[in-house]
Structure 1
Amino acid sequence: MSKLKIAVIISSTRPTRFGDKPAQWIAEQINQRDELTAEIVDLRDFDLPFFDEMASNAWMPSQNANAVKWQKKISEFDGYVFVTAEYNRSITGALKNALDQAYVNWNKKPFGAVGYGSVGGARAVEHLRTIGVELQMVPVRSAVHIGGADFVSVHPAFGGTKSIEDLAPSIGGSAKDMLDQLTWWAKATRTARDEDAALAQAAE
Structure 2
Amino acid sequence: MSRPRIAIVIGHSRPTRFADKPAAWLLEKAEGHGEVDAEIVDLRDFDLPFFDAPASDLWMETTDPKAKAWQDKMAEFDGYVFMVAEYNHSITGELKNALDWAYMPFVRKPFSAFGYGGVGAARAVEHLRTIGVELQMAPIRNAVHLGGGEMLKVHPMGQNGDMSEVDAVLAPSAKQMFDDLAWWARTLKSARAEERAEAA
State the TM-score, normalizing by the size of structure 2: 0.98
Q: Is the 8 A contact 2:84 2:114 kept in 1?
A: yes
% same residue: 56
Q: Structure 2 CA distance, aligned partners of 1:100 and 1:22? A: 25
| Aligned residue-pair number | 200
Q: Which residue of 1 aligns with 2:173?
A: 174
Query: Any runs of at least 4 consecutive aligned residues in structure 1 with deviations exceeding 6 A, and if so which?
Result: none
Measured after TM superposition, the shift of residue 124 of structure 1 is 0.6
Partner of 2:92: 92
SS at match of 1:113: strand
Q: Deviation digits for residues 114-158 of structure 1, max 9, x if unmatched?
A: 000111111010000000000000111011100000111100122
Write the deviation string for residues 13-38 of structure 1: whole angstroms up to 9, x where unpaired: 10010001111111111111222111
Residue of structure 2 in register with 1:139 after alignment: 139
Deviates more, 1:27-36 or 1:56-65: 27-36
Partner of 1:111: 111
Show the counterpart of 2:49.
49
Structure 2's unaligned 5+ residue stretches are: none
Name the residue aligned to 2:184. Answer: 185
- Distance (Å, rounded) in 1 between the aligned partners of 2:168 and 2:73: 34
* Alpha-carbon distance in 2 for matches of 1:124, 1:107: 21
TM-score, length-scaled by structure 1: 0.96
1:105 aligns to what SS in structure 2? helix
Instruction: Give the match's secondary structure for 1:14.
Output: coil
Q: 1:166 deviation in Å? A: 1.9
Between the aligned partners of 1:164 and 1:113, the Cα distance in structure 2 is: 17
Residue 170 of structure 1: how far off its partner (Å): 1.2
Give the superposition deviation at 1:176: 1.2
Distance in structure 1 (CA, Å) of the matches to 2:90 and 2:28:
26
